[in-house]
């Protein structure tokens, strides 16, 4: 093969490489927590929580828990199926006996298939239930 043909083949190979789509770049997942408007909850009550986690490399784990109060139950491990986006709607039971004004911290931790992780927190405030009407 002549030097001219080798050079032409190298140029063509370089053009193919530069025209190919970008590879996925490693980076941590994105995680968001949404709670009802006002970020408040009664005790007892059920707190709806929306968790959205995304990662172009795929999600390995998504764990949701509360910190600082063991009465709020164990962490929940959400099935990710190695998907690039997971949307979880939870109905978390809030026990009786929590004090109005108490802050509850929700923690969501997502880990992608490359091992990178992101932890996000949101808080809700326990409020007093209004008295029952006549």
Give 73-121 pLDDT, tens digit per residue.
999 999 999 999 999 999 999 999 999 999 999 999 999 999 999 999 9
Domain region containing 87 = 30-126
State yes or no: pLDDT of 65 exceeds 70. Answer: yes
Residue 68 per-residue DSSP state: S
At residue 24, the pLDDT reads 59
Residue 132 lies in a domain: no
pLDDT band at 22 (very low <50, low <70, confident <90, very high): low
Residue 86 lies in a domain: yes
Residue 5 lies in a domain: no
Q: How many separate domains does the chain show? A: 1
pLDDT band at 69 (very low <50, low <70, confident <90, very high): confident
State yes or no: pLDDT of 3 exceeds 80. Answer: no
At residue 20, the pLDDT reads 44
Residue 17 lies in a domain: no
Residue 50 lies in a domain: yes
Average pLDDT, the chain: 86
Residue 96 lies in a domain: yes
Where would I find the H helices in the chain? 3-19
Residue 100 lies in a domain: yes
Percent of the chain exceeding pLDDT 90 equals 71
Residue 94 · residue 47 · CB < 8 Å:
yes
Question: What CATH number is attached to the domain comprising 70?
Answer: 2.60.40.3880
Q: Give which of 127, 125, 122 is closest to 106, Cα–Cα.
A: 122
Residue 119 lies in a domain: yes
**Global pTM?**
0.78
Question: What φ, ψ does residue 16 adopt, rounded to 5°?
Answer: -65, -40
């Amino acid at each position: 093969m002549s030097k001219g043909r080798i050079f032409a083949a190298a140029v063509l190979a370089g053009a193919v490489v530069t025209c190919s789509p970008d590879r996925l770049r490693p980076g941590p997942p994105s995680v968001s927590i949404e709670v009802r408007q006002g970020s408040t909850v009664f005790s007892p009550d059920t707190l709806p929580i929306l968790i959205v986690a995304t990662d172009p490399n795929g999600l390995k784990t998504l764990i949701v828990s509360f910190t600082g109060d063991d009465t709020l139950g164990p962490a929940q491990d959400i099935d990710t199926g190695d998907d690039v986006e997971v949307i979880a709607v939870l109905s978390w039971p809030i026990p009786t006996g929590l004090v109005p004004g108490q802050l509850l911290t929700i923690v969501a931790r997502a880990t992608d298939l490359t091992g990178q992780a992101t932890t996000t927190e949101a808080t809700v405030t326990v409020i007093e239930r209004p008295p029952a009407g006549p």
